[in-house]
Chain A
Amino acid sequence: MSIDLEVGSATPDRVLIADDSRVNRSLLRGILTRQGFEVAEAADGEAALLAARENPPELILLDIDMPRQDGFEVCSELKRHAETAQIPIIFLSSFDQSAQKIRGLELGAVDYVTKPFDRGEVLARVRTQMRVLHLTRSLREANQELLRQRQSLDDDLRAAAEIQRSLLPGSETASGLRAGWRFRPCSSIGGDMFNLIRLNSRQTACYVVDVAGHGVPSALVGMSVNHRLSSAWLAEEGEAGHVARSPSAVLRRLDYEYPIERFNRFFTIAYLVLDTVSGRLCYSCAGHPPPMLLRRDGTVERLAEGGPPIGLGEFLDFEEATVDLEADDRLILYTDGVVEAPDGAGALLGIDGLEAFVRSTSTLGPAAVCSQLEELLVRRSGKIADHDDVSFLALDWQPET
């Protein structure tokens, strides 16, 4: 994105000459019109103010020594009103008096010319001011254009964020699970994605993805992964019918399809498959901070089985593990934006800090836990998702009958 600065204008620049001497006005008019400037004249201060307001010129040549309202008063008056305040003023001074010049400059004039006028000096000073004026104008226009483009980008990002948000699960998505979640991207959209997908009558898949970096590129990769993790791909036809693929098989497949060379980004994922009738949970984590299992008795287990982040190559395999849930056990999934939230002194919440939080909120429902966590993060950092995308899910399991 670049903006060209065009200096100069198609229409001639207008100069207002305010001087009580008609000969002086004619002299300046003669000098300026011969150089292509358009000229308006005012014979006293009052007429100058009126002319400047009715048809603001590009520049005013203002005689200091005029009867009744002198140039200083006219200058102050012009500067007082918004519609004339920006017009550059060059004072015309009868004598080479520094006191007068200083006073004029202090009142906001940009320059002065001393009488008797010298054609070359008048033209040089007028042209200099016109150049400054046109440069300022084109800078202002360029700035407005940049703001407009920025606004358009912001609008696009907001629309993209809406689309990304619409892909997230509803809060009461899967039968057998009560869910609460928070999604707080660092900019409008981010590289975090998560979802709950009903695979068949008793299996539900759940995942949290965190693409390295944040902003639009990470969000696009996140959405690509989200798209790839459709139910058709997560289950396969077996002897027992349509059943979930094993988590390690899913991660292996992702690692194959998303080598880092493809988007120049790796990502981490926690992928879980829950039997919503028996409570059997099978999971695998690819470089992702471990989901937590809060038991009814208040103990917390970290689900740390898995392998390296997706995209780093096939050197290490993905392990998976199985745990059995009891009724009312709670699963906590999150991205590293939660545990890496710094406090004022730079100390991170950490996995231990999150675990303590999870234990302390065991009596609350999933939605309330999410609200409490958001409050905790804001309290620590002053602002949530200031440093990284933040995603957090709480899932309470009740056996389906």
Chain B
Amino acid sequence: MRRLTPTEYQAALVSLFGEGVPNVSDTYPVPLGGYPYSTYADAHRVGETQAEALLVTAERVAEHLAPTLPDCAGISMGACGRDYLVPLANRAFRRPAETADVERLVAVAEGAASDGLAPNEAMAVAIIALLQEPRFLYVVESRAETAQWTLDGPERAQRLALTYWHALPDATLNTEAMSGALEMESGFGLARERVVNDPRSRATFHRFVREWLGIATLPTTHEPVLRAALDEELERLLDDAWNAPDGLAVLLNADTAYVNPTLEAFYGLPALSTGPTDFRRVLMPGTRIGLLTHPLVLAAASHGEESSPILRGKLIRTRVLCGALGSPPAGAASLEPVLPPDATVRQRYEARNTNAVCAGCHQLMDPVGFGLERFDGLGRLRATTAGRPIDERAEIANAGDASGTFATPDEMLTTLAASDVVTSCFARQWLRYSLGRTEGSDAMCVVQDLETSFRASGRSMPALFLALAEDPAFVTRHAEVTP
């Protein structure tokens, strides 16, 4: 069971209270680091810091709303509270609120009013309480003492909306949930197609890919104007991937770039763009080979302005190939070979490789990262490193049909883009992102189903998205699954 992500929480506020609601991204607790995706349940553990942040965030919202809340003129606080809070709780909980839940919130409003708060302010206190409710904060699906069950209508609506939109169910989904339509295959089939085809699914795809490649919230060393332009470009590239018949090939192999004057200068292209908002489409063969050569991705896997073959190799090994790598052993830094300061990264790698403790993992990472050495830490093309020619010979070992030795990044990334291992891995990454956990033995079937559907579709992204909701596992649950 996971808690709402910051994106989902903000979207929920907007759907409950309207567009004017404050942006609380700076106070809502951010997911803890160290997990593959922000959706992972363990990234949302609540310590006292997080508990206080949840309270303060809700108070901020309530303070903003208080002047607009009902003044309850002529009716009792209890009746007024019920009128206002019942529909609100129904939407906030993604299912009809139970009487006890509503009465508890009404009692909060009545108590606050008896302390002398004006009715609208007492209602604001009830909203603070509502926003602490577990049925609001958590994606609740389990049942006590039940081994296996099928999601009911409201749970299906919740699952669809949160998975594909990172938002609460809309009015249509709520209607379908209450009518029972979502519990019938025909009704559920229509609903999931509508949800996946909604532009909000494409936005979710954007967030997924950004997290997949480690650039979701990353501050980079790029200047703000450049960073903004790179983000804009990435949006367009991700739209291309969403719309393409083979979206994965676009993600990993397209030579497309979108450039405004800032990016023309950064990429060393002729200044042909007409202004900051004019992102013209250009082809940069050999320089742009899919997103792994996009400056945001390259910079994320770098140390400042220094490229890092280790981080880049690790990114490809773990995120693109779904390989497992352990953490560096305790005291790893003390094993680092002592070499002259001007030693090349490859010399350092080879020295490190003489130690079996290091070699186990570094053989799987560094030689992959070498393939991107023509890009510096900001993602700029370069001809030399520290006065020496670029050495970008690369090797991918132990990766099935993605294995090989490569003379250029083009060769390596073309191989990756065509690899079955990579195709399977991408489907698996989407599953992890949407499940909020690493798949366990329970998910073997859905993993295979997803891979098969993804491949059969020619690797279309919307098809991959839809395949998840078409799988029986989307609406069935097993208790106490240990990933």
**A and B are partners in one complex rather than unrelated chains:** no
Binding site for A on B (CB under 8 A): none
